Structures are given as C-alpha cells and as structure tokens.
C-alpha cells in the first residue's frame, strides 16, 4: 500500500506543522513508555510521518518498528491504544478538535530497498553506464 501524493493546496504550512507536532508527541509518548502496553514496551517504534487531513480532523500515522520486527503485533497494539493516544495528543496540542489517528505501517523503507536492489543489478548498472557516456 503506497502513500498517495497530495497537491500543495491540500498541504498548507499549518497542516504540515500540526502533523509534525503530532509526530513528536506520539514519539515522546512511546519513548517514555507512557502507553502501558507490553508489546509497545518491548519494541522500539519509530513514528516516521504523520499526514493530517486539510481540516486537521484525521491523521494517518506511519510507523515502523526497529528492524521491522513484529510489525503486525506493534500495529495491533497501537490500534488498541488509539483512544489513549488520541486523548493525549489532543491534550498536548490544544486544538479545538482531536484528530482521529489511523496507524499504518510505513512501507517506504521497503520500497527504497527494492529500488536500491534494482539499481545494484549489473544489467541496470551497465545500461546506466552506457547512457552516461552519450
């Protein structure tokens, strides 16, 4: 499941700032183990990106456990603790509405790995080398 690109009009500076602030709050909550969940305590989880909707009511939170270990378990634990995390984010942000958090695995690292593997293929290197000489 790849992320959809959005137009600049949909991604105002405020939306980006709020998304980044939500990412920091969630990272802090997980780092300080304020979420009382054994699965989340046992794994180091990275919040790679938060994409807010233009009205700031919905947030897609992209997560990646360290070394990709137990992604499904971590995602399930985050989804089970969504109410607590939403409450904490709303309290710390101080916005009029609390954003509804939707947790998703970040597959951009996997995509980057596939691209790197393709680029390191000898046939591709040969083709790239020929095009550079032209």
Per-residue pLDDT of the chain in tens (134 residues, 90 and over written 9): 455 565 665 568 889 999 999 999 999 999 998 888 888 888 888 899 999 998 889 999 999 888 767 888 899 999 999 999 999 999 999 877 889 999 998 876 666 667 777 777 777 777 777 544 44
Which H/E stretch holds residue 63? Answer: strand 58-65
Which CATH class, in words, describes the domain spanning 13-107? alpha beta
d(CA 19, CA 51): 6
Q: What is the pTM of this model?
A: 0.72
Domain ranges of the chain: 13-107
Query: Which pairs from 7-13 meet CB under 8 Å and 24+ separation?
Result: 10/54, 11/54, 12/54
Burial degree of 75 (CB within 10 A; 0-12, 13-18, 19+): middle
């Amino acid at each position: 499941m790849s992320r959809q690109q959005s137009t600049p009009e949909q991604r105002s500076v405020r939306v980006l700032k709020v998304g980044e602030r939500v990412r920091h709050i969630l990272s802090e909550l997980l780092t300080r183990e304020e979420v009382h969940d054994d699965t989340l305590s046992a794994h180091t989880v990275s919040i790679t990106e938060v994409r807010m909707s233009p009205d700031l009511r919905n947030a897609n939170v992209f997560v990646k456990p360290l070394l990709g270990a137990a992604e499904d378990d971590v995602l399930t634990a985050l989804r089970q603790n969504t109410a607590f995390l939403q409450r904490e984010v709303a309290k710390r942000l101080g916005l009029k509405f609390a954003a509804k958090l939707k947790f998703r695995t970040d597959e951009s690292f996997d995509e980057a790995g596939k691209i790197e593997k393709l680029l390191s293929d000898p046939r591709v290197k040969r083709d790239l080398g020929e095009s550079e000489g032209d």
